[in-house]
Amino acid sequence: MAIITAADLKTHLGKTSTSDDVLLGAMANAAEAAVRKILERVIEPSDITAEFHDGGYESIWLKNYPVNSLSKLELDGDDWLPDVTYVPETGEIFLTDGGKFPPGRRIIEADYNAGWQAVPADIKQAAVITAAAWYNRRGSEGKATVLMSDGTAQNISDEIPKETIQLLRPYRKATLR
């Protein structure tokens, strides 16, 4: 599922001419790739296998959310069917009885489906803002190149607008590094 299309970008820019359609399509695709990279997770519903090392914690956190379903848990390669609850909006899985996941150097594997049925409006808006900014700044410093469908290259400014980052912030998980 595309986050935005050239038509979305055209509408945002108030363009009716078809003269820049190829460029707008390429910029929409590039902006979508940038948004996906910033979010570091799936957007559309996808089947995912995640592996966690070491147990002993009260909960584990799935990287991709919202979680639509949790189909399987394995502990050290064996099917494991504890009574678990997951929070769709955050991707947190915890044991329903309030206990901890088994301690020690363990491998816990989760098979699940995550992603939105429809792209949230602010994620879509972030991609539109990015593509529109690149379109309006084409030819400026700090350039990136987009390969057009006709084989030619088009330079665009590769800076991500601060509005894009602000719109995407609620969808990024805070991590310690």
Residue 31 lies in a domain: yes
Q: Are residues 164 and 139 in the same domain?
A: yes
Inform me whether the pLDDT recorded for 4 exceeds 70: yes
Asked, for residue 80, whether it belongs to a domain, the answer is yes
In this prediction, residue 7 carries a pLDDT of 94
Structure tokens at 10: 């055209």
Domain count, the chain: 2
Does 128 share its domain with 151? Answer: yes
Could you tell me if residue 157 is inside a domain? yes
pLDDT tens for each residue of 142-154? 555 666 566 666 5
First to last CA, the chain: 31
Q: Looking at the structure, do residues 57 and 108 belong to the same domain, yes or no? A: yes
Q: Are residues 125 and 161 in the same domain?
A: yes
Name the residue range of residue 21's domain.
Answer: 6-41+119-171
Q: Are 130 and 103 in contact (CB under 8 A)?
A: no
Q: What is the pTM of this model?
A: 0.78
- Tell me: do 56 and 109 sit in the same domain: yes
3 exposure class (CB count in 10 Å sphere: 0-12, 13-18, 19+): buried
Judged against a pLDDT cut of 50, whether residue 103 lies above it is answered with yes
